[in-house]
Amino acid sequence: MGSPRREELLEAAYRYALAHGLADLSLRPLAAAIGSSPRVLLYLFGSKDGLIRELLARARADEIALLRSAPPGDLAATTRLVWGWISDPALRALLTLWTEAYARSLIEPDGPWSSFAAETVRDWLDLLAAAQAESIRDTPAGEAERTATLALLRGALLDLLATGDLTRTTAAVLRRDGDP
């Protein structure tokens, strides 16, 4: 946990990211918009990449809070809830950045994003496991079910980001859950 000022600036930067995206983030305009300076941001977050990682972690905190509101033992309901969150147009810029971070983690295995993709997979599989019925959770079938669910959500997200086709991608996610 950081200082109160660090947390305050992180929240302000997160609101900025949700409104403006981060693909072309420059510290000077960000700092001006949130009442800080580039030097303070670098001091508090170490680097621009460090700040971006913190923003992605902040987004993950929202995801976890969302998942906690899902009915326990109902992976299908959790999948629909997660899809509603990740397909929200207000989060498009942030999820585009998440996709970039995921890809950079694969391309630059020794860089600042080094383990981001692998950590993301582990985190999501753990969260999805918590949404499964206890009777299946610790079985090979349970692991396969949550892996397939994660692959569906990630693939649908990539498709949505590439095409903007919310209707088609949502239909695919809902069809997987047995809805018509």
φ, ψ of residue 142 in degrees (nearest 5): -65, -45
Give per-residue pLDDT as tens, 135-157. Answer: 999 999 999 999 999 999 999 99
pLDDT score at 23: 66
pLDDT score at 1: 56
pLDDT score at 180: 47
Token pair 């610790």 in the structure block, residue:
138
φ, ψ of residue 159 in degrees (nearest 5): -60, -45
pLDDT score at 151: 96
* Closest C-alpha to 90, from 26, 150, 15, 171: 15
Query: What is the C-alpha to C-alpha distance for residues 103 and 114, in angstroms, rounded to an integer?
Result: 10
Token pair 């990539």 in the structure block, residue:
158
**Rg for the chain (alpha carbons), in Å?**
18
**Two tokens, residue 46:** 């170490």
Domain range list for the chain: 48-176
pTM to 2 decimals?
0.79
Low-confidence ranges of the chain (pLDDT < 50): 179-180
Contact (Cβ atoms closer than 8 angstroms) between residue 55 and residue 13? yes
- Assign residue 140 a region (left: φ > 0; alpha: ψ between -120 and 50; beta: otherwise): alpha
- Counting other chains too, the contacts that 66-70 makes at CB distance below 8 Å and 24 or more residues apart are 67/127, 67/130, 67/131, 70/131
Give per-residue pLDDT as tens, 120-135. Answer: 899 889 889 989 999 9
